[in-house]
Structure 1
Amino acid sequence: MAMGSLSDDDDFNPEINTTPLVDVMLVLLIIFIMTIPVMNHAVKLDLPRAASQPDDVKPETINLSIAADGKVFWNNEELDESQLANRIADAAKVTPQPELHLRADRTTQYEKVAQVMSAAQAGGLTKMGFVTEVPK
């Protein structure tokens, strides 16, 4: 009688060999028994205590808008290129450094947006974000 035959006369009784499973479980048990004392080991220290207040100084926000015709507005005040460079240089010196929120009209040429971004970077401003409208 062969083990793999499927005839009606045979009583085929397949069994799962659990020996490898038991071996793996015993190895894992030994590993956990060895590592648990290492994880619970702690050094008792008398650490110094200090009380401090969080610094909640919010940086100023500068709204820099670019119209479709290329005009630049600093907090709703129109500027030319030299005034823009001066304002950016002054804002970069303030601590904490203000955040520049850049708004551009939908039909504004990308070249003008890139020029303003380049002027902000050259002036020393590091925090810049783009403001967009949520579609309705």
Structure 2
Amino acid sequence: MAFSTGSGGGAPMADINVTPLVDVMLVLLIIFMVTAPTLSYPIDINLPQRTLNPPPQTVEPPPPISLRIDQSGVVYWDNSPTPLNQLQQVMRQTVERDPTNQPRLEIDVNDDAQYETLAKVLAYAKNAGMDKIGFVQDAE
């Protein structure tokens, strides 16, 4: 910081020398401009291609399956209580009936149910090969 007094003995004048600050900022700007392109990685995405022929109409989907988890952790498969250890087998049988035209699994979970039960149900559905899974939300 430089202090100088005027020739007439007036008030002192304080000037900041900003040249070194500008030099440092320009160097940092150049460093960031050079290194920024090397930090980005391309991600390959398979986008759907336009087709002139519409997809063939499929068979009407089967009615959805209602799966409800109540507050105490009991699982109801289409309104009938099902033990959690047999649920994956029931799901697998449902998928094996028609793997190309699976029913939608609609999961309704009580707000007070434990997350562990829901996590097991979702893992069983994935392992059984269920593709269409949705969550039911009660309108309040």
Aligned residues: 83
> Which whole-Å CA distance do the structure 1 matches of 2:58 and 2:125 have between them?
26
TM-score, normalising length: structure 1: 0.56
Q: Which has the larger radius of gyration?
A: 1
Moved over 2 A (4+): 53-56
**What is the aligned partner in structure 1 of residue 78 from structure 2?**
75
SS in 2 for 1:102: strand
Map of 1:94 onto structure 2: 97
Q: Distance in 2 between matches of 1:55 and 1:121?
A: 23
Displacement after TM superposition at 1:85 (Å): 1.6
Structure 1 stretch 64-73 or stretch 75-84: which is displaced more?
75-84
Conservation of the 8 A alpha-carbon contact between 1:62 and 1:101 = yes
Q: Percent identity?
A: 29
Contact 1:66 1:108 in 2 (8 A): yes
Q: Which residue of 1 aligns with 2:68?
A: 65
Amino acid aligned to 2:123? S
What is the Cα-based RMSD across aligned positions, in Å? Answer: 1.5
Q: Equivalent residue for 2:116?
A: 111
Q: In structure 1, what is the equivalent of residue 126 of structure 2?
A: 121
TM-score, structure 2 length as denominator?
0.55
